[in-house]
Amino acid sequence: MKLSTKIGLVSAAAAIALAATSAQADRVRWKLHSAWGSSVPHLGTSGVRFSKTVNDMTGGEMQLKFFEPGALIPANEGFDATSKGSVEAAWTTAGYDVGKAPFLAFFTSVPFGPSYGEYFAWKVYGGGNEIQQKFYADNGIKQMDCFAIGPETSGWFRKEIKELDELRGMKMRFFGLGARVMQKIGVSTQLLAGGDIFPALEKGVIDATEFSMPAMDIKYGFYQIAKYNYFPGWHQQTSVSQILINMDKWNGLTDAQRRILEVACGESIHNTYAETEAVNPGAMVEMGTKYGVKTMRWRDDQLAVFEQAWLDVLNEDSAKDAKFKETADSYLAFRKSYAKWGAAQAMNATYLK
C-alpha cells in the first residue's frame, strides 16, 4: 500500500473518530429532580411529559431523567442542588425558594392576582422575568418558566368556617404570598412539600391545609380527614412554575439545544394550563359525589378581609425589603397599565335572566 494511501486512511479514521467524539459531546444526559412525584397530576406528570418531549424532539440526543422527590434530594431543595451542580436540573416553583429571597413568591402566584394572560404579559413583556432570572443567574442558575396551572382551592378544613375569627390560632399549611395573608389574620402557617401534608394533617401537626386543585388534592387524600373545601383560590388564581438548570450546564449546550428546551417549555406551559382547566371540573364533582366533600365559598365580606390583609402585607413587606418593593412596584405598575384594557374586556358569566 502506498504511503499516501495509508496517510489517507489514517486521516479518514481520525475524522470519523473526531466526528463520533463531537457527537458524543453534544449528547445531554441530565438528572431532573422534581419537587412532585411522577403520579401527581399536572405538577409531577408535566415533568415526566417534558422529559419525553425533549427526548422526542432530539431523537434521544437530549435525555432528562426524571427523579422522584427524595430520590436525589429533598423535594423543595432544587435551588441549592442546581446552583451547586449536584443535579443538572430541577422541576420546581419559585415559591419554594422564598427562604433565599421573599420576593421570589411573586413569580409563582400573587393573591387576588391576574389571569393567565395578564400574568404572562407582565412576566414576559413587563419586566417580571428580568427581575426573576437575574436573581437566579446571580446564583449560578438558568431559570425558565416551564408549566402553569389554573385557579386553586383555598383550603381544606375539618369543619365549616362560618366566620374568619375561627381561623385565629389555627395551624395551616399554606403557600407563598397567601401564607403572609393568613399570618396577618392570625393563622400560624408552614410550608410543607405535597407528600408531607397528609401525615401532618393526620397527626394533628396542622389543623388545615391548602395545596392545589381537585385533581391533585384527591391524589393526596385530604378528603379523608377534612371534608370542607373552600373556594375561590384567592391566593392562587394562576400559578407558574419553572425548570432550574445549572448555569455551567446551560452554557455548555449548543444554541440548538438551548432553543429546544425553550420551545419545550412553551409547549409545556400551554399543555399544563389547558389540562388543569379540562380535568378539574370533573374532579370537583367526583370529590362531592364519591368522597362526600362539601364545596364551600367564602362570602364577599370575607374575601374583602383577605384582600385588605394582602394590601397590608404588600405595604409592610415593601417597606422592609428593597427587592420585594422593586418586584411589587413592577407588578403593580403593569397591572395599572393593563387595567383599562382588562376592564373594557371584562364580561359577566351570563347576561340572560
162-214 pLDDT tens trace: 999 999 999 999 999 999 999 999 999 999 999 999 999 999 999 999 999 99
From CA 303, how far away is CA 297, in angstroms rounded?
10
48-79 pLDDT tens trace: 999 999 999 999 999 999 999 999 999 999 99
Whether 8 shows a pLDDT value over 90: the answer reads no
Same topology between domain 28-151+238-279 and domain 155-236+282-333: yes
- Exposure pattern of 67-101 as b/e (b: 16+ CB <10 Å)? bbbeebbebbbbbbbbbeeebbbbbbbbbbbbeeb
293-347 pLDDT tens trace: 999 999 999 999 999 999 999 999 999 999 999 999 999 999 999 999 999 999 9
Tell me which residue of 268, 272, 273, 297 sits closest to 284, measured CA to CA: 297
How, if at all, do strands 239-246 and 89-92 pair? antiparallel
From CA 310, how far away is CA 303, in angstroms rounded?
11
What pLDDT was estimated at residue 135? 98
**pLDDT tier for residue 268 given thresholds of 50, 70 and 90:** very high
What residue segments make up the domains of the chain, in order of their start?
28-151+238-279, 155-236+282-333
Q: Does domain 155-236+282-333 have CATH number 3.40.50.1980?
A: no
Which sign, positive or negative, has the C-alpha torsion 263, 268, 271, 277?
negative
CATH number of the 28-151+238-279 domain: 3.40.190.170
Q: What is the pTM assigned to this prediction?
A: 0.91
From CA 18, how far away is CA 92, in angstroms rounded?
38
Residue 264 corresponds to which cell in the numbers above? 419545550
Taking CA atoms, 11 is separated from 1, 3, 4, 298, in Å, by 15, 12, 10, 76
* DSSP label of 122: I
Other CB atoms closer than 10 Å to residue 339's CB: what's the count?
11
302 burial via Cβ count (<10 Å: 0-12, 13-18, 19+)? middle
From CA 69, how far away is CA 147, in angstroms rounded?
18
- Let me know how long the chain is: 353
96-151 pLDDT tens trace: 999 999 999 999 999 999 999 999 999 999 999 999 999 999 999 999 999 999 99
